């Protein structure tokens, strides 16, 4: 059976290719968020009979099409490999979609039971300068880094997959060395007061520039850090770098007293940072005000409800460090549980913003979100603000904080320092 073309194909790959090109080109033309290509890797199907393999893949495609009906389109690109094109999808929205895909394929098992092994989803941001065939080829290289070095099961036209590709073990070794040597970079994306127009804080994001592969996306290297046991040290390195930079801005009087540094962390990283005393020690060594630091966890991490997490939250409260809920509204919340959390602020996921500048229904929806957040006595930052119209309408509706490419992309420390200086003169 031909998995990628012909009469027996489960889905038509030739139909996906032009949609990839169209989505990337439209995003570039409109200045919108780049689309994402999600490669779904099913557990090995090779030992199954051909009919069973086909039936399981067909069942997986059917479930995927239901799961992403409003978010993207699906095609089979190889044996055990599916592709999902998600237009206008930033990193966090793509991560939420990946979690939804994993859930829909694993619980309960597809088609009466997939072979042993987890479904894997890899996320690739599309570059409008790269053709659809090249995008699929690059995505395949990343998949191969986690598999044995067998031939990429994607039909290509005119684009060869590079032969020299690191194994996932080698990539993990490189990451471990980068963390030990302090070669993990940090960028800052400003958070804007929508009523005042001032920079009132910044989100801190980790970056890894591999010496031969170039920039490795956080959605790839952060999970890898967890796999190799380096997540705790990675979190400490990012926190130390960010707090040190905060001290430089404070000493240069480039930030107001209420400026908040919001640092992303997973639940495991948070436990490691608190239990090891790193948060306390780094606050002391950098002289940072605990109230200027917030640790930002995904909504999914918050709603686990584990007793050990509640203990960690309490320790941070005693230290005076804030807690923020990231990706709020991506489908994990119990509102009753959120009422009991010690969080001070929620980051409203970009997927909830919609066409707030032009659609009255979206405006009513945003107003309802603001009412709910206010009832929970939480602050709120709206993520994914990409146009002046969105910023103006959010301000009119009473939103207090926003973040997104309309204001600034994530910046390295020197560029962020210059931006703070420019905004302080306005």
Which of 334, 331, 354, 353 lies closest to 67 in space, CA to CA? Answer: 331
Confidence class of residue 72 from pLDDT cuts 50, 70 and 90?
Answer: low
Instruction: Tell me how long the chain is.
Output: 426
Position 133 scores a pLDDT of 67
Interval 348-385: pLDDT, tens: 887 788 788 888 888 999 999 999 889 888 999 999 89
List b or e across 37-59, with b for residues whose CB sees 16 or more CB atoms inside 10 angstroms: bbbbbbbebeeeeeeebbebbeb
Which distant-in-sequence residues (6+ apart) come within 8 Å of 271 by Cβ?
Answer: 308, 309, 312
Interval 86-111: pLDDT, tens: 877 777 777 778 877 877 776 444 44
Report the helix count and the strand count for the chain, using DSSP H and E: 15, 13
Residue 392 has pLDDT above 70, yes or no: yes
List b or e across 76-103, with b for residues whose CB sees 16 or more CB atoms inside 10 angstroms: bbbbbbbbbbbbbbbbbbbbbbbbbbbe
Confidence class of residue 300 from pLDDT cuts 50, 70 and 90?
Answer: low
pLDDT (mean) for 389-399: 94
Residue 260 has pLDDT above 70, yes or no: yes
What is the signed CA dihedral for 73, 64, 95, 44, rounded to 10 degrees?
Answer: -110
Does 390 or 68 have the greater pLDDT score? 390
Interval 158-168: pLDDT, tens: 333 333 445 67
Position 224 scores a pLDDT of 87
Confidence class of residue 278 from pLDDT cuts 50, 70 and 90?
Answer: very high
Does 185 or 328 have the greater pLDDT score? 185
Strands 293-298 and 260-264: parallel
pLDDT (mean) for 231-242: 95
Distance CA 102, CA 96 (A): 10
Distance CA 118, CA 332 (A): 21
Contact 35, 86 (CB under 8 A): yes
Neighbours of 258 (CB within 10 A): 12
Interval 100-143: pLDDT, tens: 787 777 644 444 444 445 677 888 777 766 677 667 666 654 45
- What are residue 124's DSSP bridge partners? 37
Position 122 scores a pLDDT of 80
């Amino acid at each position: 059976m031909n998995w990628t073309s012909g009469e027996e194909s489960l889905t038509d790959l030739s139909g996906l290719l032009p949609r990839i090109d169209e989505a990337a080109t439209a995003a570039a033309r409109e200045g919108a968020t780049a689309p994402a290509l999600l490669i779904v890797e099913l557990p090995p199907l090779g030992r199954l009979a051909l009919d069973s393999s086909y039936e399981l893949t067909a069942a997986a495609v059917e479930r995927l099409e239901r799961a992403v009906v409003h978010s993207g389109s699906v095609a089979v690109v190889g044996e055990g490999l599916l592709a999902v094109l998600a237009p206008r999808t930033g990193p966090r929205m793509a991560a939420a979609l990946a979690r939804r895909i994993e859930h829909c394929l694993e619980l309960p098992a597809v088609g009466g039971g997939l072979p042993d092994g987890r479904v894997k989803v890899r996320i690739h941001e599309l570059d409008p300068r790269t053709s659809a065939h090249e995008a699929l080829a690059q995505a395949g290289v990343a998949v191969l880094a986690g598999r044995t070095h067998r031939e990429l099961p994607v039909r290509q036209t005119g684009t060869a997959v590079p032969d020299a590709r690191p194994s996932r073990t080698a990539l993990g070794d490189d990451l471990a060395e980068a963390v030990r040597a302090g070669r993990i970079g940090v960028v800052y994306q400003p958070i804007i007061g929508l009523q005042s127009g001032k920079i009132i804080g910044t989100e801190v994001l980790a970056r890894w520039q591999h010496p031969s592969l170039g920039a490795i996306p956080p959605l790839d290297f952060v999970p890898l850090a967890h796999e190799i046991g380096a997540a705790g040290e990675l979190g400490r390195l990012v926190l130390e770098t960010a707090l040190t930079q905060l001290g430089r801005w404070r000493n240069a009087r480039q930030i107001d007293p209420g400026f908040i540094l919001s640092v992303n962390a997973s639940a495991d990283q948070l436990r490691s940072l608190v239990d090891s005393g790193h948060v306390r020690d780094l606050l002391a060594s950098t002289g940072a005000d605990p109230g200027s630091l917030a640790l930002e966890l995904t909504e999914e991490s918050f709603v686990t409800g584990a007793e050990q997490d509640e203990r960690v939250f309490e320790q941070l409260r005693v230290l005076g460090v804030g807690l923020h809920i990231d990706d709020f509204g991506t489908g994990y919340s119990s509102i009753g549980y959120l009422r009991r959390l010690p969080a001070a602020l929620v980051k409203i996921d970009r997927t909830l913003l919609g066409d707030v500048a032009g659609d009255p229904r979206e405006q009513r929806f945003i107003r309802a979100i603001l009412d709910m957040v206010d009832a929970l006595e939480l602050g709120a930052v709206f993520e994914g603000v990409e146009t002046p119209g969105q910023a103006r309408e959010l301000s009119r509706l009473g939103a207090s904080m926003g973040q997104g490419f309309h204001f600034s992309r994530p910046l390295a420390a020197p560029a962020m320092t210059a931006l703070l200086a420019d905004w302080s003169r306005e």
